[in-house]
Structure 1
Amino acid sequence: MRILVTNDDGIDSVGLHVLVRAMCDLRGDHEIVVVAPDTEYSGAGAALGALFQIQPEIVRASIPDCDAEAWTVNGPPGLCVMFSRLGAFGGPFDLIVSGINPGANVGRAVYHSGTIGACLTGRNGHVSGIAVSQAVSGWGVEGQAWSDLILNQQWESAAECAKVMAQSLVDDMPSETVIVNLNVPDLPIDEIKGWRHAEIGLQPPRSVATAELEPIEGRVGAFKVTMQWGEKLDLPSETDAGTVEEGFVSVSYLSRIEHEDRPDVAHADKALAALLD
């Protein structure tokens, strides 16, 4: 089985390196290939970028203490996955594992996360994926963490949870393509309370409340953006954010966009007809 490992924090991310080593320890005969952005692409979602401007370049890389084949791409994680799916790095992949992201991707963060975006891109080619993220102590589970807050991050706990989930899929891969959104508390593995299937919440425990423009001194017409965080919310335990906040691993499945019957849009059709007349 061929397993693609990627992330949105770049090839030098500690979380990526820990995750790759965990995937190399899976039981069975598996080929691990790492294809990650050459730099930070957090918040890129499933974006591919403007290829005619990027002029994509692929460079060989290496992961410390691991002999997995590794490459970098000068583009977002979605582009890494697209090139992988199209055969740039050998035969078809059977599973994508993306992460470990510092800062859990819960609530509406699933719309913007590059960690999840890699798996969404893989699903276009009918490849299942696991997006692995971890809460950051002292910051809450939402958003991307600053470097000084992740110095003592419990990476191995998230890697072990990712390994268990990946092993379950390679041992018995579902017939239908799935995306597992895995969010892990920032705790030693023996302090994690367990696993829960969780609903994707509508919001994270804390989000940006306001954005204000502040003039940049010496530059006419230029501004920086000052953002203020809202109050921390206590979210229901059945949601992904609430689950992680309570010390459990959150397991959520991201469903595909369904093709349903067209809703009643008679009023829009009338307006269009009048415009065309």
Structure 2
Amino acid sequence: MYILITNDDGYQSPGLAALRRALAPLGEVAVVAPDRNWSAAGHYRKLFDPLRAWEGSLIDGSPAMICDGTPADCVALAVMGLLPKKPDLVVSGINLGANLGSDLLYSGTVAAAMEGIIFGLPAIAVSQNNGHRSPQDFRAAEAAVTRIVQQVCQRQIPAGVLLNINIPDLPPEQVRGIQVARLGQRTYRDELVVRHDPRGRPYYWIGGAEPEDLHEEGTDVAAIATGYVSVTPVHMDLTSHKWMDEVRNWGLE
């Protein structure tokens, strides 16, 4: 396997080094990662600016290509010729913080994996709940991603589908197992914070408390809350198929 890894927390994230450590025994690993944090950037692509990439190293000293583009840019650049050959698999992570439910619409981690499936490659996004806690323990995430990638190599993922993986912030011996789960619901409690600069001009922050999760059985949100690793197959078809006929009945066609 020739595996491309990237993230949205930037090349110095300990989660990226942990991901490389987990995948190195499974094949040849190439790293193309952003030079800064792109959390919540979604699937932004820098179409109107040149992209630059250079050799560097991760926080553990292992080699990497560093790019001044977004996570999706890193994958596109790698696949279109920055790497000497096309990867067999794209893995994005390990993100410092969960990507559950509607987080996927914002997540740069998931966007990088989405960019992989746009290019026809199997892809995985990996996130760890409360990943900013110190000291960081990625052992459970490394074990889960190793097991899942081994299965992906054997069974393959259908074209156009990625696996979104979330890991509870627990030591390996406390993780209860793996659950295949659908996307759950998170309610964001964002607030607009207005401040003023020394000249009296307003500027704005978007703040607020942590999202409120609906712990509905069978969802990724509930799986993480009860100590399981969640695995959710995700595809790009956002169509509400059950509403197709209803909208046709409006007589618009």
TM-score (norm 1): 0.82
Q: Does 1:250 align with 2:217?
A: no
Conserved 8 A contact 2:3-2:30: yes
Partner letter of residue 30 of structure 2?
Answer: V
Give the superposition deviation at 1:234: 4.6
Change (3 A) 1:17 1:238: same
The structure with the largest strand share of the pair is 2
| Structure 1 pair 169–226 and aligned structure 2 pair: CA distance change class (3 A) | closer
Structure 1 residue 120 displacement after superposition: 0.5
State how far apart, in whole Å, the 2-side matches of 1:258 and 1:226 are: 27
State which of 95, 105, 115 in structure 2 corresponds to 1:101.
95
Of structures 1 and 2, the larger Rg is shown by 1
What is the RMSD of the two structures over their aligned residues, measured on CA atoms?
Answer: 2.4
Greater mean deviation of Cα atoms: 235-244 or 255-264: 255-264
Aligned length: 249
Indicate the residue corresponding to 1:168 in structure 2: 151
Q: Name the counterpart of 2:122.
A: 128
Report the AA paired with residue 34 of structure 2: P
Offset from partner CA, 1:20-49 (integer Å, 9 cap, x none): 0111022xxx22100000111111122112
Q: How does 1:87-236 map to 2 (within 5 A)?
A: 87-136=81-130, 149-203=132-186, 207-208=188-189, 210-225=190-205, 227-229=207-209, 232-236=212-216
Unaligned runs of 5+ in 2: none
TM-score by length of 2: 0.89
- 1:52 and 2:38 aligned: no
- Structure 1 residue corresponding to 2:75, chosen from 81, 94, 98: 81
- SS of corresponding position for 2:235: coil
Note closer, same or farther for the CA distance 1:172–1:71 as it changes in structure 2 (3 Å cut): same
**What is the identity, as a one-letter code, of the residue corresponding to 2:157?**
P
What is the CA deviation profile of residues 212-240 of structure 1, one whole-angstrom value per residue up to 9, with x for unaligned ones? 34231423332233633278445113111
**Residues 6 and 265 of structure 1: is their aligned pair in 2 closer, same or farther, counting only changes over 3 Å?**
farther
CA deviation map 1:160-195 (0-9, x unaligned): 211111111123323534300000001011110111
